[in-house]
Structure 1
Amino acid sequence: MGLFFLFVCSDQVLLLAAGLSVGLLLLLLLGLMMYCLWRKKKGQRRYQELLSTVPSVPVCSAPVIPVSLGSWAMSVPQNTFHIKLAVVVVAPPPGMATRLCFSVEYRHSSEQLIVSLLRLANLPPQFHGNVTLVQLQLLPDDRRPRQTKARGTGPDPEFSDCFVFQVSGVCVPHSTLSVCVLSVEQDGKRRAVGRVLFPLERELGQAGRVLWRDLEPEDNMQCSELGDVQICLSYSPSLQRLSVVVLRARGLQLLTDKGVCVQVSLQILTQVVKLKRSCVVKGEKNPYFNHRMTFKLRSQHLDEACLKFELQHHIFLPEPPVLLGVLVLGPFMYARGPQMQHWMDMVNTPQEPVKLWHGLGRAI
């Protein structure tokens, strides 16, 4: 009887031990499942937080095919940051013009303008073997150009860059995005390929859509109604000196074959502080001046000054000349578009000559 009792107790102990082992195993499996679910949920939350800090690649109206995915890095120089994104290929519209593919988006909650550069199309053959640089500025207040380099060379170089500009919702409708394309030769010399000036007014409603814009070449031979004039500007902060070279004009509407000259006046606010004239050249539709002038201008007056050019046609001396057209180069206070951009390029690249064609306007 005692021996039977011991066998029964032994079986109960074994069953109890087996039950405890199974229970502990179930608890261990349950704990492991809860831990895995917790890690997965935490990972998703961290991934969502990471995505919320990185501007998304805009939704495109044209087919977009990912080519390669690069790592992204963030830096914050003067309220802006620069993020490397995936390289994409977007089919360009038909035509042979050199075009820039990009996208803009404005986020009102964070007051950030996001510009995504995608690619260039139809670069002229002389630039195919060079490195392609792009400089971006948000006019009129942005003084420091952002710069990026294309991946590879050839007729259709690609980018993988996004730029974020910190700008208030009040100012953004009055701003203009300037995108300047440069070609760097093997000796380091830079040549201007063209420029896109993109006014943001009435354009932000198309946020997230891929945009194609033709580059305006530096030497666009299509003349304006009154003709064009080519001007070269440079500024020396150390000498406090503004240098102006009136190079040539084209497509002028002349009445006779008498002489043509250019009168240049430096104005600060409402006061004309200096006035100079170029040499008088033979009256032809495309005169060549190559006349250099210098003006004393302090750095603190760069935002208050402008240059006014008047092309004058001398018909009968000593009668007053006939005014063929006018041009004003200066900051936002006086000019817009290429005229303002020319002045800003001069300010941002001290000592460097900046040359550009401008269409003449009528006197007001």
Structure 2
Amino acid sequence: MVSVGSVLAGLYSVPPLNEVVAPPPGMATRLCFSVEYRHSSEQLMVSLLRLGNLPPRFHGNVTLVALRLLPDDRRPRQAKARGTGPDPEFNDCFVFQVSGVCVPQSTLSVCVLSVEQDGKRHAVGRVLFPLEGELGHAGRVLWRDLEKEDDTQCSELGDVQISLSYSPTLQRLSVVVLKARGLQLLTDAGVCVQVSLQIHTQVVKIKRSCVVKGESDPYFSHRMTFKLRSQHLDEACLRFELQQPNDVRSEPPALLGVLVLGPFMYARGPQLQHWMDMVNTPQEPQGETSTFLSVNAALSLSHRGSE
């Protein structure tokens, strides 16, 4: 039986690189690939060919890509470029086992990373390719622009300032919720932050801050720690919920907004970069002198409580 997402480079043909058309004009970083669905075997074939116009600061680095078939695929398939420079080549083929009913509802996600010699990773961008309506051109070479990961999306719901650090020695993730600003409060019951550590779809641990009352710009300065093995850093995320307690204790709190920090699977923009900065600069235990990385990250609305 073929495992989902396995690489079978010797069994499936990939268009020769010398037959791949040149990228469209322009300076955008672009991904060259092709897709084909085989109904008889219910296999989606993804041929990863090359990148074009990689930014100069990444030319000397190793280029990695992580592929997933959304919404259900949680474990990325990775490929490493065969060279460096502005147009690194891959020439790899990936096989995703997916039914003919599900494939039109799926989206191919290709995330590009640049890795320095010391192992530090940088997010280059991502291509999201919905498969609906695209499977009639089997094997056609496609070029798609990468969505930049540094595009910041502002929020009208407010901002929360968070500091992260990770100790590989202790296998410990430290989180400090510093403060929030510009929150759209629903009542005067105060605000607290609930933090959930999640691996894939499983919630591993939930912790909460104290309730700060009477302020739309609350100052928490609340620290919490989570046990997290190093091998789970690419699979885990932190979910922050800003909540207002309900006057009726039996009723759930009102949810002001949700913020998710994590790798490509969960986050983009500053939220993704903040997580990657933490992974790239692990903090060994130094008592009270540990240095944390901080970022103001926009809240995204999950739902609002009753007015």
Residue 104 of structure 2: SS of its match in structure 1?
helix
Residue 206 of structure 2 is matched in structure 1 by 274
Residue 300 of structure 2 is matched in structure 1 by 360
Residue 83 of structure 2 is matched in structure 1 by 152
Q: Distance in 2 between matches of 1:230 and 1:154?
A: 37
Residue 232 of structure 2 is matched in structure 1 by none
Q: Does 1:82 align with 2:22?
A: no
Spell out, residue by residue over 1:153-187, the C-alpha distance to the aligned partner (whole angstroms, 9 max, x if none).
22222221221222222332343322121212223
Spell out, residue by residue over 1:304-359, the C-alpha distance to the aligned partner (whole angstroms, 9 max, x if none).
x996422469xxxxxxx9965224689xxxxxx953899xx9xxxxx968999776
Residue 339 of structure 1 is matched in structure 2 by 266
Closer/same/farther in 2, CA of residues 326 and 78 from structure 1, 3 Å limit: closer
Give the counterpart letter for 2:37 in structure 1.
Y
Write out aligned runs for 1:205-224 (5 A). Answer: 205-224=136-155
Write out aligned runs for 1:174-253 (5 A). Answer: 174-224=105-155, 226=157, 243=173, 245=175
Give the counterpart letter for 1:190 in structure 2.
R
Does the 8 A contact of 1:279 with 1:291 survive in 2? no
Higher relative contact order (CA 8 A, sep 6+): 2
More helix by share: 1
- Residue 136 of structure 1 deviates from its aligned partner by 1.7
Closer/same/farther in 2, CA of residues 270 and 243 from structure 1, 3 Å limit: closer
Does the 8 A contact of 2:114 with 2:121 survive in 1? yes
Give the counterpart letter for 1:170 in structure 2.
V
Residue 105 of structure 1 is matched in structure 2 by 36
Closer/same/farther in 2, CA of residues 143 and 154 from structure 1, 3 Å limit: same
Q: Distance in 2 between matches of 1:133 and 1:127?
A: 11
Of 218, 224, 242, the match for 1:293: 224
- Residue 197 of structure 1 deviates from its aligned partner by 3.0
Does the 8 A contact of 2:113 with 2:121 survive in 1? yes
Q: Distance in 2 between matches of 1:221 and 1:165?
A: 32
- Residue 113 of structure 1 deviates from its aligned partner by 0.3
Closer/same/farther in 2, CA of residues 106 and 278 from structure 1, 3 Å limit: farther
Give the counterpart letter for 2:209 in structure 1.
R
- Residue 277 of structure 1 deviates from its aligned partner by 2.6
- Residue 120 of structure 1 deviates from its aligned partner by 1.3
TM-score of the superposed pair, with normalisation by structure 1:
0.51
Write out aligned runs for 1:48-63 (5 A). Answer: none
Does the 8 A contact of 2:196 with 2:203 survive in 1? no
Closer/same/farther in 2, CA of residues 184 and 327 from structure 1, 3 Å limit: closer
Residue 178 of structure 1: SS of its match in structure 2?
strand
Does the 8 A contact of 1:116 with 1:161 survive in 2? yes
Q: Distance in 1 between matches of 2:178 and 2:32?
A: 33
Q: Which runs of 5+ in 1 are unaligned?
A: 1-75, 299-304, 314-320, 331-336, 346-350
- Between 194-203 and 179-188, report the one with greater CA deviation: 194-203
- Between 102-111 and 185-194, report the one with greater CA deviation: 185-194
TM-score of the superposed pair, with normalisation by structure 2:
0.59
- Residue 115 of structure 1 deviates from its aligned partner by 0.6
Give the counterpart letter for 2:30 in structure 1.
R
Closer/same/farther in 2, CA of residues 208 and 279 from structure 1, 3 Å limit: farther
Give the counterpart letter for 1:151 in structure 2.
R
Does the 8 A contact of 1:253 with 1:324 survive in 2? no
Give the counterpart letter for 1:114 in structure 2.
M
- Report how many residues are paired: 255
Does the 8 A contact of 1:229 with 1:360 survive in 2? no
Residue 95 of structure 2 is matched in structure 1 by 164
Q: State the structure with more CA Rg.
A: 1
Does the 8 A contact of 2:81 with 2:89 survive in 1? yes
Q: Distance in 1 between matches of 2:8 and 2:162?
A: 34
Q: Distance in 1 between matches of 2:158 and 2:21?
A: 37
Q: Distance in 1 between matches of 2:33 and 2:26?
A: 18
- Between 103-112 and 157-166, report the one with greater CA deviation: 157-166
Does the 8 A contact of 1:339 with 1:358 survive in 2? no
Spell out, residue by residue over 1:9-46, the C-alpha distance to the aligned partner (whole angstroms, 9 max, x if none).
xxxxxxxxxxxxxxxxxxxxxxxxxxxxxxxxxxxxxx
